[in-house]
Structure formats: C-alpha cells, structure tokens
Amino acid sequence: MRIAIGQLWQESNTLNPLPTTCADFEAFGIFQGADLIERFAETNELGGFIQSLQAWPERKEIVGLMRFAAWPGGPVDTTTFNMLMDRMIDTLQSAGKVDAVLLALHGSMVAECEPDVEGYLLQRVRELVGPAIPVVGTLDLHANITQRMVDNAECLVLYHTAPHVDVMSTGRRGAKALRKILIEGRKPVTSFRKLPMVVPAERANTQDPDSFSYGIRKLLESWERNHFVLSAGLATVQPWLDIPDLGSSTLVVCSDQAPASWGEHACAELATNVWDHRRDYLPTLVDISTAVRAAFDAARPADECSELAGSPLTVISDSADATTSGSTGDSTAVLSELIKYEWPRPALVTLVGPETVAEAEAHGSGAEWTATLGATRNPRVFKPITLPVRVQNIFDAKFILSGHLAEKLPIDMGRAVVLMYKNVHIIVTSRSGPHFAPQLFQSAGLDPFTASVLIAKSPCGFRAAYADHAKQIFVVRAPGCAPSDFWTLPFTGIPRPLWPWDEMA
C-alpha cells in the first residue's frame, strides 16, 4: 500500500501589493521525497500524517511528494503558481501507482491567475489519480472552501482552533479519516454550506470559554467523536480576499454508516447557528493613543520606590498590519505613539525591513545614526518615521516556532537587528514571519514577558502565547492590509450581497 503525502500552504491577502514569489517559498524551504518525510516527521500537518501512517499495522510505503510553504502575503505570481502546480503534479505522476493521497493545504491561497489555488490543485490531482483513489486534504480554519475543493476530495479536515494550536493534530485527524475510507471501506458523503458572510478574526478565540467560538469548537469535537463522522468544521475564511467566491462555510463529512440525513442536518444547524451569531465576531477597536497611554499607566510604578519587576505586561494587537494575515509588516503607526513615552521597562515592536537591516549591519553593533523606519513595502498605506537609534543587536532570526500555527516548526526570518530609541526596542527582520512569537523576541535576546508593552502583529493567534501573561490586551484601529473593519474598504470582486458589507436579515 502506497500513500502519497504533500503540502501546499500559503494564506494570501489580495490587499498586499507585493506578490508572493518563488523566492518566498524557497526561503521557507522546499522539500521533496524522503527529505520531506525526514524533515517534517515531528511538525505540523505533515508530522501528523507521517506519525499516524507509521502507526498503521498494515504494510505501507509513505511517498513524499513536495512541500511548498510560504509565509502569508500577497497573491502568488503566475510564474510561481505554474511552478508549484507543475512540480506537485509531476512528482505525483513520477511516483507511480499510489493507493491514496494526503495533502496539507491552507484553503485561502490565491494566485494572480487563479482565485482558488487549492481547488485547482485538487482537481489536477483527481484528474491524474482517477475517481477510485481517495484524496484527503487538511485546511486552515480560515480556508475559503469552494465547491471545486469539495468535489475533488473524499474528505476535507479543518483546524478546530484559533489560535491555531491543533495544526499537528489536524494532520492526525486527516490520516484517521483516510484510514476509515481506505482500510475500513467507509463511503464518505460531504455536506457543505456556503454562507454569505465574512467575519473578523479578532474575536474568533476558541480558547476562551466565554466566547461563542469556544462553544463551536466543543460542538465540532463532539460530532467527530461519532464513529460515522469523518470530519466536521467551520471555516470563517480569510477576510482580505477580493475574489468572486468569498464566504464562510460549514462542512460535515459522514460515512455511509451515519443515520439518514445526519450530515445535512448537522451542517445546516451549524450554518444557522453561526449566521445568527455573526455579530458576536465584531471586535471592539481602541484608538492607538488610548491603548498606548493605558499601557504606560499600567507600566509605571505606583511610587518612586516601587519595584518594576512585577509591573504588568500590556499586549497591543496591531492586527491591521498582522504578518500572520498577510500584511506587509512595515507599519509605524503604533511605534509613532510608543516613542512619546519614557518606558520603565522595554517597549517591544517589530518591523519588516530588509533595507533597514542592511543599513544597520553596515553601521555595526553599537553604532548610532538617524534611521528612517517603516513604509518600505507598502508606502501607499504607511508613513515612515525618522529616529535617532542605536544598534543594540545584530542576529539571525532563526528559531523553532511552537504554539499558534506551529509545533516545532523551524523559522528563518533572515538577518535581523534590534534598534533602540530610549527604551523602545525595535526588532527589524529581513523577511516576514510570526511578528508576535515569543521565540522571535527571545532570539533577539529580549524577554517578551517582562516588557512594559509588546506590539503583536497578529489578530488572535498571539493570545496563545500571551493571554496568561498580559494584564491587559487591546486591539487597535490602525492602517494596514488586514484591518478588522475590512468592509470599509473598496472591495470590487466579492459576491454581493455579503455581510457585513451588506446588512442582511
């Protein structure tokens, strides 16, 4: 028995003016065949696939296809799209006869020439392997599921959590669903509902017992404990996609052992429940000046003799420039407010700026100069800021990411620097990445948990790391490619009516 596995993963943001290129996938690592299996046996969806398949008692061969991944960003350019599709399909064709295909996908990948990349790939795979070979795919909770995806896969399996802390276990669930189809002979039936709605990510926190999303996660988990349910999921979709088939969706995959119409009823019930609670997803946004002032007030000692060590951490989500949402990461909107205060402990903020990194390296560690920061990648939206800074540290932003989005995943954000203005520490990286992760700050020699304030370029995922440490958390209203009030932007390609662009009963 031969089972092919592969990965194509990137979350696109059509508001980002910078295309995602071959270089972005190469920077994140392209792996094939045995190298894929060896490198990713203990991380993310591929690790879930590999460990589960290795535990099957039947004789089998795991066939590594391609692993293509890039950090969230702009749409994939046409040349890169063609390369990705051709190499994935060519590798599958060269593998010879396989008995099943397991693919780790995102679900919201868009190319300049194709708004439904995953649907296109699944269709190409189906055309190659034929109708009798099971194809199972895993998807991010923010997938934009299309009918083409559903039609060309026996089963789609979604993350259940936001922050995404179930990435590897989703791989295991995908392998479990495949086993029921391939080994146990279950016949899958997919129920799928597309909803005319898109919701912000900021309040979709499935870890908070008081949230609507927490209840949905528990419901989905309980459904999947039924022996006849292969998969159940809610895809709240990546909002910043100006494409024709945008919308949230519900999906339930049952076997032929399910009671009659169980999957259809469950899928419809879930869709109605989510629609009725759509306003629960709308976040409360705070002005940048208000959030920064509150952080400063919390960080100040109560009197001149107070110890600073016990002062509380404030986390400010600059979600509009969230690199995890595909924004460019070069906004200085919050930084411009941070520099107005004398912080008792470090204020931590990040930027993507390869030009700034190169300039700092040329000056050298300890050097002081007047730097122009930010707005190098998206100058139409952001404004640069000029500051006298000192080069505190020059380092390689390499670390192992665990928590939101990853489990033991190697990250390389290239050369990076820490620039200091008073007690504001500005971490500038050459490449985009998890500009919220504790491991990023720690690789820079900084302790994120003892800071006065930390700016997280993430709408929700940062909570996995900081919710138990932060005294207060704010989500600010700011410019960027990933604003939570996305319906205020001039989208032209989306289907209408679509909530919240259109008020609907």
Q: What is the pLDDT of residues 44-70, one digit of tens each?
A: 999 999 999 999 999 999 999 999 999
Dump strand ranges (E) for 116-261: 135-139, 155-158, 189-194, 229-235, 249-254
Q: What pLDDT does 72 receive?
A: 98
Share of the chain above pLDDT 70, in %: 98
pLDDT of 382 over the 70 cut: yes
CA dist., res. 436 & res. 405, Å (int): 12
Collapse the DSSP code of 141 into the 3-class scheme (helix H, G, I; strand E, B; otherwise coil) and give the result.
coil
The radius of gyration of the chain from alpha carbons, rounded to an integer in Å, stands at: 23
In this structure, what token pair is assigned to residue 475? 């989500």
Structure tokens at 260: 């009659």
pLDDT per residue over 323-344, tens digit each? 999 999 999 999 999 999 999 9
Give me the pLDDT at residue 309, please: 45
403-426 per-position pLDDT tens digit: 999 999 999 999 999 999 999 999
Per-residue model confidence as pLDDT tens digits over 227-285: 999 999 999 999 999 999 999 999 999 999 999 999 999 999 999 999 999 999 999 99
What are 144-193's pLDDT values in tens digits? Answer: 999 999 999 999 999 999 999 999 999 999 999 999 999 999 999 999 99
Provide the pLDDT for residue 311: 56
What order of strands is seen across the sheet that includes strand 249-254? 189-194, 249-254, 229-235
Q: Environment class of residue 229 by beta-carbon count within 10 Å: exposed (0-12), middle (13-18) or buried (19+)?
A: buried
The predicted structure's pLDDT at residue 308: 44
**Which pLDDT value is given to residue 302?**
54
- pLDDT tens-digit map of 185-205: 999 999 999 999 999 999 999
Mean pLDDT of 65-93: 99
pLDDT tens sequence across 345-366: 999 999 999 999 999 999 999 9
H helical segments located in 260-392 = 262-276, 288-299, 333-338, 354-363
Average pLDDT of the chain to the nearest whole number: 97
Please state the pTM of the whole predicted model. Answer: 0.96
For 267, phi then psi, to 5°, come to -65, -40
